A and B are shown apart, each in its own frame.
Chain A
Amino acid sequence: DKIEDELEMTTVCHRPEGLEQLEAQTNFTKKELQVLYRGFKNECPSGVVNEETFKQIYAQFFPHGDASTYAHYLFNAFDTAQNGSVKFEDFVMALSILLRGTVHEKLRWTFNLYDINKDGYINKEEMTDIVKAIYDMMGKYTYPVLKEDAPRQHVEVFFQKMDKNKDGVVTLDEFIESCQEDDNIMRSLQLFENVM
C-alpha cells in the first residue's frame, strides 16, 4: 500500500503558465518556447523533471563517461526553488539566461553553479568537486591518460587566475572581474548564441 501511495504521489502533473507570460519573462520568442516545450514534454510527460530523469537525459550526451555528478550540480543550479524538481518555467528561465542573457547574467549563473553550497563563495573543495565531475564525463579512455592530480592542478590554475585578493575563496565580484579580463572566456561565452 505504501508503495502504491508513493507511486501516486510521484505521478504529479504540472502545467506551465501561459505562453504569453513565459514570453514576457524570458528572452525567447513564442516559436522558440513552443519548440522547447515540445522537447521537454516529450522526455518528461508529467511536466516536471526529477533528478534521476535529468541525469539520464544528460548522460545520453556523454556515452563514454560518467555524467551523473556534473548533472547533479547542474540540476541544483536549475532547481532554483531547491525542491528536487525542475518545472518547465525553471528550465526555460535558465536557458534564457544561458543563451540569451547578458554576460553578467551568464557569469552569475555560472558562479551559482560552482558555488555548491550556495553560500556566496567558491572555495577550493567546491571547485575541485566541479572539476572532478567534468573530468569524470570524459570517461576512462582518454589521451593522454588522466593523471591523479590533474583536477587539483586545474583548480590551482583557476584560483590563481580568479582569486584576486588571495584569500582562498572566490567571490562573485572577483569571478566576474577575472572572467571579463580573460578574452578566451569572453569569447567562449558567446559560443552558444545560435543554439536555438
Chain B
Amino acid sequence: MAAGVAAWLPFARAAAIGWMPVANCPMPLAPTEKNKRQDELIILNVSGRRFQTWRTTLERYPDTLLGSTEKEFFFNEDTKEYFFDRDPEVFRCILNFYRTGKLHYPRYECISAYDEELAFYGILPEIIGDCCYEEYKDRKRENAERLMDDNDSENNQEGSMPSLSFRQTMWRAFENPHTSTLALVFYYVTGFFIAVSVITNVVETVPCGTVPGNKELPCGERYAVAFFCLDTACVMIFTVEYLLRLFAAPSRYRFIRSVMSIIDVVAIMPYYIGLVMTNNEDVSGAFVTLRVFRVFRIFKFSRHSQGLRILGYTLKSCASELGFLLFSLTMAIIIFATVMFYAEKGSSASKFTSIPASFWYTIVTMTTLGYGDMVPKTIAGKIFGSICSLSGVLVIALPVPVIVSNFSRIYHQNQRADKRRAQKKARLARIRVAKTGSSNAYLHSKRNGLLNEALELTGSTEEEQHPSKGTSLIESQHHHLLHCLEKTTGLSYLVDDPLLSVRTSTIKNHEFIDEQLFEQNCMESSMQNYPSSRSPSLSSHHGLSTSCCSRRHKKSTHLPNSSVPATRLRSMQELSTIHIQCSEQPSLTTSRSSLNMKSDDGLRPNCKAAQITTAIISIPTPPALTPEGESRPPPGSPGHATNISTTATSNIVKVSAL
C-alpha cells in the first residue's frame, strides 16, 4: 500500500459501513490506538540544513532508520532535534520518499555515494521509482564493470590466482591466451598450422611443371606425398586441439553445440572421410567435393581475431535488414529481367534466351559491373538497360549507409530491449512480492491479532502484551479492514501458507473427540463472561443463530470435514492451536481437561479486569494452588482449578481463559 494512500485509510474504513447490513457474521474488533498522541513536527538537522516533517510521515516506513526508533540514537537533547552528519543533498531525495512514496535518483549524484546513503537510512534501492530506475541500474552496472575491470587487471598484475583444477586452468588457457606462456605458445602454434593448412590448400591447385603429354599438372598431384604429409600433420594438430578443448570445456554439451566447435569438426572431417573412402571409385566425385570443406579451416582464425567475431555478431544481428535488402534487390532483378527479355525477344541472335538468362545481365548491370558478355541490341532494350543501370545505383547505394547506421542502432537497441525486458520481469516480480508480502502480512497478523484480542480481553497491561513485530497502527487497521470484508462475505483469503497448513494438521493429529462440545463450552463461557461483547467473533450468541454459523450446530462431523465458514473455523482452530503450542503439552487429556476446567473457571464473572491467576485465587474451591514453577495441571484431577504460572507463560493463562 503506497504511503500517500495511507492517508485515505480512514475513508476506506468508513466506507466499510456499507458492508455492515449485508454481513451475516459479526465483525472483528477494531484495533485501538494505544499511544494516541497528536501529530507533531520533528526537526531533522542534516549537516546544518534543517528539514521538518510530521512524525507520521516518517512512520509510514517503520523498517527504515527514520521510521523506527533507531533515529532516537541521533536525537540531540540540547537542541531537541535529530542530527545526522550526512549529505544534505541526498537527504532531500530520501525525505521526499517518505512524503510521496516514490524514491528518485538524481542524475548528478555519484552512484556509490547514493548507495551508501540509502544503506545508511535503511532503504532498499529496489524501491526506486520507474522514472529513475533504468538510469540507476545503468550507472550501477557501469560502476560494477569498472570495478571488475580494475580487479581483473589487479589480479593479472599480481599473478596470484586461487588454485584451480587442471581442467579449469586448461580452459582458461584456451580462452585467454595471455594467461600463461604455454597458452601463448599453443595459440601461436595453432595459428601457424591453420595458416599452413590454408596455404597448402591453395598451393595444391597451382600448376607447377609439365608432364610429358603437354598436360599441366597441379602441384598437388606432383608432390602428392608431401602435401599428404602436410595435411596429415595439420589435421593431427587440429584433432588434438579439438579433443583438448572438449576435455577442458566446463559444459561439454554446450561446447559441442557452439559454432566454433562445429567449424573445427567440419575442418577435420574431410580428411578422415577421405581416409576411409580411398578405395571406393564411385564416390570419389563426392570425395573431391568434400575437399572444398577444407577451406572452412580459415574460419578457425576467428578464435584468433576479435574483429572477425564482432563482424559475425553484427551480421547476425542485422540479418533482417540484410534480408530485406536482398528481397528488394530480387524484386528489381526479376522486374528488369522480364522487361529486358521481352524487349530483346525480337532481335536475332540475342543472348537473352530466357528470363533466368536475363538475370545475369540484370545483376551485372545493377551492380555497375558491366562485363559486356550480354548486351542489348534493340532500342527498347537499350532504353530499359540504361534505366536498369541507373536504378541499380540507387537501389544499392541507398541502403548501404542505412544498413551501416542500422548496425549501430540495432546493436544498441537490442541491448536496451533486453535490459528493459529484464527490468520488466524484475519489476513484475517486485510487485508480486509486495502483493504476496502484504497478504502474508495480513494472514500473519490475523493469527497474531486473535492472540492480541485474547490478550486485550483479559485487560492486561501494555507491558505484558506481545505486540506483533513491526505491525504499525496503519497496518493493523488495514488488516482489520480486510478482516471485516472476510466476515461480511463469509469467505477468507487463501494464500499459500505452509505455516498455516502445519497448524491445521496439528489439529487433525490431536483429534479432539468432542470438538463441538469443547467449542460450545468455549463459546458459552465466553458469552457469559463478556456480556459487553468486546469480542464479537467469540461471544456472539446471535452469531450462532445466523445462517452461516447455525450450520455449525447441525453438523456433527469432525472439524476438518465441516463446512463451516473457514474464518470461524480457523479462529477456533487457531485458538486451540495457540493453546497447544503455548502449553507445549503433547498429552491430549491433560490439555483437554484443563481446557474444560478453564471453561468452568471462566464462568466466574470477574475475569475481565484481572489476570487469570487472581481470578483463580478468588475461587473458593481449589484446595491447593500449586506454586508458579508448575506449568502443567496435574493429570486426572478434574475437580481442581489449576493454576498455571503466569509470569513465564502468561500466554497459556490468557488464552485458556476463553
Residues of A near any B CB (own CB < 8 A): 31, 35-36, 38-40, 42-43, 57-58, 60-64, 70, 73-74, 77, 91, 94-95, 98-99, 106-107, 109-110, 113-114, 130-131, 134-135, 137-139, 141-144, 146, 150, 154, 157-158, 162, 175, 179, 182-185, 187-189, 191-192, 194-196
Contacts and interface: CB of A to CB of B under 8 A. Distances in A.
Contacts of A135: 489, 491
A43 B7 contact: yes
A178 B480 CA distance: 26
A77 B546 CA distance: 29
B478 A61 contact: yes
B566 interface: yes
B17 A189 contact: yes
A188 B19 CA distance: 10
Interface stretch (B21-29, B61-69, B337-345): B21-29
B435 A74 contact: no
Contacts of B4: 39, 42-43
Interface string B1-37: 1101111111111111111111110110010110000
Contact of A194 (B26, B33, B486, B547): B33
B462 interface: no
Interface string B484-501: 111011111111000000
A60 B12 CA distance: 10
B505 interface: no
Nearest to B566: A143
B481 interface: yes
A179 B18 CA distance: 13
Interface in B441-478: 477-478
Contacts of A157: 24, 547
17 contacts: A39-B8, A42-B4, A43-B7, A57-B8, A63-B435, A63-B438, A94-B14, A113-B18, A138-B493, A143-B491, A175-B21, A184-B540, A184-B543, A185-B21, A188-B27, A189-B20, A191-B27
Given A184-B540, A192-B14, A142 B533 contact: no
B177 interface: no
B439 interface: yes
A24 B485 CA distance: 33
Nearest to A156: B547
A119 B9 CA distance: 30
Nearest to A71: B15
A143 B395 CA distance: 67
B565 interface: yes
B2 A60 contact: yes
A189 B536 CA distance: 13
Given A38-B7, A184-B542, A192 B493 contact: no
A162 to B, nearest CB: 8
Contacts, number: 150
Contacts of A42: 4, 7
A187 B26 contact: yes
Contacts of A35: 7, 39
A74 B21 contact: no
Contacts of A137: 485
Given A62-B482, A134-B489, 5 more contacts: A57-B8, A60-B5, A61-B5, A130-B22, A135-B491
A143 B18 contact: no
A134 B33 CA distance: 27
A144 B491 contact: yes
Contacts of A191: 20, 27, 30, 484
Contact of B21 (A38, A110, A139, A195): A110
B28 to A, nearest CB: 9
Nearest to B540: A184
B10 A195 contact: yes
B562 to A, nearest CB: 11
Contact of A141 (B22, B481, B484, B495): B495
A57 B435 contact: no
B481 A61 contact: yes
Interface centre among A109, A143, A184, A195 (most CB of B within 10 A): A184
Given A63-B439, A134-B19, A144-B566, A154 B14 contact: no
B563 interface: yes
A91 B38 CA distance: 23
B16 to A, nearest CB: 7
A184 to B, nearest CB: 5
A59 to B, nearest CB: 10
A62 B478 CA distance: 10
A109 B154 CA distance: 74
B493 A141 contact: yes
A95 B7 contact: no
Contacts of B32: 194
B11 A91 contact: yes
A192 B542 contact: no
A75 B404 CA distance: 57
Nearest to A170: B21
Given A184-B540, A188-B23, A110 B18 contact: yes
A131 B22 contact: yes
Contacts of A64: 435, 439, 493
Contact of B9 (A61, A94, A131, A184): A61
A138 B485 contact: yes
A65 to B, nearest CB: 9
A7 B629 CA distance: 74
Nearest to A36: B10
Nearest to B563: A144
Per CB-CB distance, the 5 closest pairs between chain A and chain B, nearest first, are A39-B7, A98-B14, A142-B491, A143-B494, A188-B20
B542 A183 contact: yes
Given A74-B15, A188-B27, A194-B33, A134 B438 contact: no
Contacts of B11: 91, 95
Given A43-B4, A60-B5, A110-B17, A192 B30 contact: yes
Contacts of B8: 39-40, 43, 57
Contact of A99 (B10, B33, B435, B490): B10
Contacts of A113: 18
B1 A134 contact: no
Interface string B600-627: 0000000000000000000000000000
Interface centre among B39, B485, B543 (most CB of A within 10 A): B485
A143 B21 contact: no
Contacts of A195: 10, 13-14, 477
A65 B490 CA distance: 15
